[in-house]
Amino acid sequence: DLEVNNDEAGTTVSLIRGVLRGLKDHGYKIGGFNAYATSDVLVGAGLSSSAAFEVVVGTIISGLYNDMKINSVEIAQISQYAENVFFKKPCGLMDQMACSVGGMVNIDFKDPTKPIVKKVPTEFEKYDYSLCIVDTKGDHVDLTDDYAMIPSEMKKVANFLGEDYLRDCDSNEFYIRLD
């Protein structure tokens, strides 16, 4: 059964079901497997734990049933679908794309169905920097509505600057208008 089950919203089962449904809808072969997973990633702390899990499920299915032919961008998009529709979190594509492609990425959404994704080279150690993850003991679980407002707020800013999308706005004009 790959239908949305509202009673599963917010659960790991909903993510698995959603990824499998997304893969099937995209014409990929799916099937079962046994897996054991453990993680030190803090749940609900904004560290992309759900995105990482979705991407792992998609990658495993790609390997077991599709000869690793599902590309990282499509796995990320299917993972976002699983989180939005089955997990019931209105997230964007950023976390899934960073997990699937690996590392920091730049995403151009001119065509949202075919985003242009480029890895951003990061050489922290070259500049004697380290990326540190700190447990703030905070929780972002109750921020779902705030996350959902981001696209609408971005569209309002773009409209203020005379465009439909921020990507089409002149960056100099944007910074001038901040004052």
Strand runs (DSSP E) across the chain, as ranges? 105-108, 116-119
Instruction: Look at residue 114 and give its three-state secondary structure.
Output: coil
Q: Using CA atoms in the order 91, 93, 95, 98, what is the torsion angle rounded to 10 degrees? A: 180
Q: How far apart are CA 179 and CA 159, in angstroms?
A: 17
Quote the strand ranges of 88-154, DSSP E: 105-108, 116-119
SS3 49: helix
134 φ, ψ to 5°? -115, 130
Bridge partners, 116 (sequence order) = 108
25 is known as an active-site residue: no
- List CB contacts of 72: < 8 A, sequence separation 6 or more: 97, 100, 101, 102, 117
In contact, 66 and 26? CB cutoff 8 Å:
no
Active-site annotation holder among 1, 40, 95, 128: 95
* Residues acting as catalytic residues: 95
